[in-house]
Structure formats: C-alpha cells, structure tokens
Amino acid sequence: MTSGSTDGQGLKRHVKKNGLIFIVLLIGLGLTLLRFTCGIGAVTNLSDRNPWGFWMAFDLLCGIAISAGGFAVASAYYIFGRKQFHVYVRAALTTAFLGYFFEVIALLYEVGQPWRLVFPFFLSQGTTSVLFLVGLCVALYLMVLSGELLPALFERLGWRKARAKAVRLAAPLAVIGAVVAVIHQSSLGSLYLIVPSKMHPLWYSGLMPLFFLFSSLFAGLSMVVVEGMLAHKFMRDCADDRHARDADRAVLACGKGACLFMFVYFILKCVEVAASDNLRHLSSGYGAWFLLELAGGVALPALMYFIGARRGRTGLIKAAAIITVLGVILNRFNVSLVAFNYNLPAAERYFPSWMEIAVSVFLVTLLVIAYRGICSAMPILRTHEDHEKEIR
C-alpha cells in the first residue's frame, strides 16, 4: 500500500513537472492526425498565391540556419585542428543531425502530397532545379552527420575496433560535410532569386546565396553557444567536469568566429544596398524594419562579440549569441514572409493559423526530447576515456 502510494505521488510530480510538454504533445498529435486525414488546407492558411508560409520560414529557413553550427565547429575541430572546440563538437553535430532530421519530418507536413517527397530522387529528377539541389544536399548531409556521430555511438556500445575505424573517417567526413553544407546554405538563398518582383528591394539581392551562407555561419556558431548555456543549466546530469571547465575557451572561439563573419556580412549588406540604389527605401516603414534587423540583429551583437572576445568576457559573448540567433530568425521571417508579396493588399497577405504554429512547437518539443535522450545515452556532453586521449 505504501509502495503504491509512493509510486502514485511520483507519477503526480512527474505529470506536474512535465504537464506543459504533455499538453504540447497531445495537441501536436491531434493536429498531425487532422493534417494527414483532412489535408494540408485543414490546418494552414496557405494558398496558391502564398504557397510557402510559417512552416517554410521557421522549420526550413530558421531551422537549417541555426543547425549550421555542426559543419562550422566540425570543420574547425577536425580540419583546422582547433582543439578548443572539442567540448562543443559532438553537441553541435547532434543538434545539426536532429535539425536536419526533423526538417525532413516537417517537410511531410509542408508538402501537399508527402508521399511524393522521394519522387525527385527516383522518378523525376529535376537536376536544373534549386529545390532539387536543396533536397539532395539535405539527404547527403544527413548521411554525413550520421557518420560523424558514429564514434560516440560506438563508445556507448563499447565497440573499440569499430570506433577506431570511425574516428579515421572523421576528417574526410568533415570535409564532405562542409562542402555539402556550404552548397545547401547558399542554395536556400538561391530559391528567392526567381522572385524579384514579389520581394521588397531592400531584401532582394543577387547576393542572397552569399548572405544566406554568411548568416548561417554566425547563426550556427551562436546557436552552439546558446546550446552550451542551456545544457549547463538544464542538463548537468548529462555533462562532466571537463565540459564545464573547457566551455569558456570554446565560447571565446565561437565569439571570434561569429564576429568575423558578422562584420563581413554587415559590410556586404551596406555596400549592396548602396550599389543597388535602394537607399531611398530606408525612409519608409519597410526601411525602418530593415534597419532594425541590420542594426539590432547584426551590428549590435557583432560589436558585443568583438568586445567580449577582446576582453575575455564570456558573459557578453553569450548575450551576443542570443541576440544573434534572434536576429537571424528575424531575417529569415522577413525574407520569406514580411518582404515576400509585400505589394499585395493587406486582405490578401498571408498570416499563419494557430495550428501551423502549434505543429512547429510540437516538432521542436520532439527535437528537444530526442536531444536530451541522445545526450543521456551517449557521450555527447561528457568525454569518453578513448576520446580523452585524442584531445590531450
């Protein structure tokens, strides 16, 4: 009787602690059932005039941008030998893997006929299509990320010989992953090159592939710092002392890299606006919003990164990382929603339904649950004895 009472109290505490997560999962499962039984129109405000909405902006553009930390940190660690990134490299690769994996899951919701998602690879290859290139890169990079995470899996299983072979493939896979990721991040910007008449001139540019690439680099590095902050606060049981001890060095390294990419991005943006004769648009409402994005989401955190890296102030770098991630999210929403179809009457403009937002929250919740599960089961935030020898 006492044992049953104790178990019941433990269950109640567990439900109370994770009540919000249970609610999100229940709503998400219900909307998933509605989406796949009644069609995409039952849960979205999308139309032929506005075929890409909140899911495209948040799940694809934002999700892929902040997942870029995987190839950025892996390249620095495995290719350029920057050992200070060792504390973040597996966490960044795990986040990238889950980000891309759940993007594929999200595409099943976003595509009107999800069973056709594999058609471009097997039945009707559109090799001249940028969208085909995006899909191909997602598939290839997922395979590369799986290979890069094999050493951690084999450490968990105790397969030392298999782990040794997987470690030897780490550097070649990092090179392949960097090439594929660079093509993929830039090709997302290329998707919008064909709509010059539909996008506001301040956001439309022939340099959009380059802008998407550079912004993904500093977004990815910033997200790595944010992940480290959250892991230190909420997942201490999954991390070891080395992770906490060496984190500051990795934070400073990420801050320096992000600062460099942000200054290049900022200069290119300013030059492009001036060269394309778009300065006159800055006095409009869209111009004020554009300046807010550029000044608040790029210039301010870049300056904070510079000061933080120069003076060794990790707290300032962490604050800059949060602002940077929010700034890149704002940019992706501006490109895909705010500046897109800007010349339509207000009544015809797209606005997401609450169900679209709820589905995205549901998928993010699943991603977080999966991330914690992987970090609990595998040496992602803690250093295995075999890995310890390699980073000395």
- Give the pLDDT confidence of 93-125 residue by residue, as tens digits: 999 999 999 999 998 998 888 887 777 777 766
Position 266 pLDDT exceeds 60: yes
Can you tell me whether residue 134 is helix, strand or coil? helix
Q: What is the pLDDT, as a whole number, of residue 297?
A: 95
Q: In the structure, what pLDDT confidence band is assigned to residue 10 with cuts at 50, 70 and 90?
A: low
Position 388 pLDDT exceeds 70: no
The string of pLDDT tens digits covering residues 126-157 is: 667 788 888 888 889 999 999 999 999 998 89
Which positions ≥6 away from 187 have C-beta within 8 Å? 130, 133, 134, 137, 209
| Domains of the chain listed by start with CATH number | 23-390 (1.20.1630.10)
Token digits of residue 346: 């207000």
Q: What is the pLDDT, as a whole number, of residue 212?
A: 95
Side-chain-facing half-sphere of 99: CA atoms under 13 Å:
27
Q: What is the pLDDT, as a whole number, of residue 111?
A: 84
Longest dimension (CA), the chain: 79
The string of pLDDT tens digits covering residues 184-234 is: 899 999 989 988 888 999 999 999 999 999 999 999 999 999 998 988 888
Q: What is the pLDDT, as a whole number, of residue 242?
A: 75
Position 389 pLDDT exceeds 70: no
Q: What is the pLDDT, as a whole number, of residue 1?
A: 45
Token digits of residue 252: 């400073």
Predicted structure pTM score: 0.89
Note the Cα 272 to chain centre separation in Å: 26
Q: In the structure, what pLDDT confidence band is assigned to residue 309 with cuts at 50, 70 and 90?
A: very high
Alpha-carbon span 224 to 239, nearest angstrom? 15
